[in-house]
Amino acid sequence: MTDDKSAAERIPILKMGEFLLVTIQVEMHDRLVMALQEELTEAIVAHQSRGVLIDISALEIVDSFIGRALGNIASMARVLDAETVVVGMRPAVAITLVELGLSLPGVRTALDAEKGMALIRRSMRPSGGAAGARRS
Amino acid sequence: MPVVRDETLSIQSDDDVVRVRQVTRRWALDMRFRLVDQTKVITAASELARNTLIHGGGGTVRLEAMHNSGRRGLRLTFEDKGPGIADIEHAVTDGYSTGGGLGLGLGGAKRLSNEFEISSVPGQGTRVTITRWM
């Protein structure tokens, strides 16, 4: 029963070319946050993704647990040669986060998905010389 | 300080932490808190509910809506019967953590609130009260 529940609550990870797109639209249980870290790193490797876009526009709050998880995801992705951009943070969430003492060090942010995608494209390091050499 | 409404919730699992967030949100909406204040009080509630669960081994939160000569506030009291905190001043300091987190829970909740009180007896438990005024 517990298994059914956690399967139903999984956060979908969509593949879009070289990118992975994660749209968080459910209430973030702590265990769901932990599951996302694992599944996302697996997906980066499986799809050889170069960028991860995490849309948090539906999140009404980001507390220290969720904030730390976003930081962890960005670090793990970087080690796997992928850039992470968190997009769509609500203004009230930004104000609260900073007051909480969390400035999300190491997490790149953009106002919306389009700007986030552009940011990842610009920052993608060409691996070994020419861009896209990794696919050769 | 007249309390016009109150509700007590149990905190025994991470589902309950989510429920504390949802109920706090509903109360803040009912009381017509501004969006930023809503977000602050919900975030503080989330931090303290997780503390109650992880450090206190579970406990309760009591929500109270207060009216005092036109002034309205939401007070949340978190109580557990866990191991307690020996050095409270240290525990409220950012970066101090025994739960593997960032150590922002207590200090962060304090900054997000207008009033903050903590009392703890080692071996008997901890009580944290925050109030957010409108």
Output the pTM of the full model: 0.88
**Residue ranges per structural domain of chain B:** 3-133
What ipTM was estimated for this complex? Answer: 0.88
Does the residue A135 lie in any domain?
no
CA A57 from centre of chain: 12
C-alpha to C-alpha distance for A31 and A5, rounded to whole angstroms? 12
Does the residue A133 lie in any domain?
no
Contact list, B102 vs chain A (CB under 8 Å): 64, 67-68, 102
The answer, yes or no, to whether residue A23 has pLDDT greater than 60, is yes
Contact (CB, 8 A) for B22 and A27: yes
Q: What residues of B are in the A interface, CB distance below 8 Å?
A: 14-15, 17-18, 21-22, 25, 35-36, 38-40, 42-43, 46-47, 50, 94, 101-102, 104-105, 107-108, 111-112
Does the residue A96 lie in any domain?
yes
Poorest-confidence range of A4-13, A96-105, B5-14, B48-57? A4-13
The answer, yes or no, to whether residue A125 has pLDDT greater than 80, is no
Contact (CB, 8 A) for B133 and B71: yes
Contact list, B107 vs chain A (CB under 8 Å): 101
CATH code for the domain of A46 = 3.30.750.24
Task: Report DSSP letters for A63-82, one per residue.
Answer: -HHHHHHHHHHHHHHHHTT-
Does the residue A132 lie in any domain?
no
Contact list, B112 vs chain A (CB under 8 Å): 96, 99-100
- Which residues, in sequence order, are CB contacts of A46 under 8 Å at separation 6+? none
In this structure, how many other beta carbons lie within 10 angstroms of the beta carbon of residue A131?
A: 11
Contact (CB, 8 A) for A56 and A86: yes
C-alpha to C-alpha distance for B48 and B17, rounded to whole angstroms? 9
Tens digit of pLDDT at every position of chain B (134 positions): 788 899 999 999 999 999 999 999 999 999 999 999 999 999 999 999 999 999 999 999 999 999 888 889 999 999 999 998 888 888 777 766 666 555 668 889 999 999 999 999 999 999 999 999 98
Residue-range definition of the domain harbouring residue A102: 2-126
CA distance B104 to chain A (A): 7
CA B120 from centre of chain: 14
Torsion, CA A106, CA A69, CA B39, CA B54, rounded to 10: -130
Q: For chain A, what is the domain count?
A: 1
Q: Classify B3-133 by CATH class.
A: alpha beta
**Could you tell me how many residues make up chain B?**
134
Q: What is the DSSP code (8-state) at residue B134?
A: -
* Best B34, B38, B39, B93 residue to mutate vs chain A (most A CBs within 10 Å): B39
Does the residue A22 lie in any domain?
yes
H or E element that contains B126 = strand B125-133
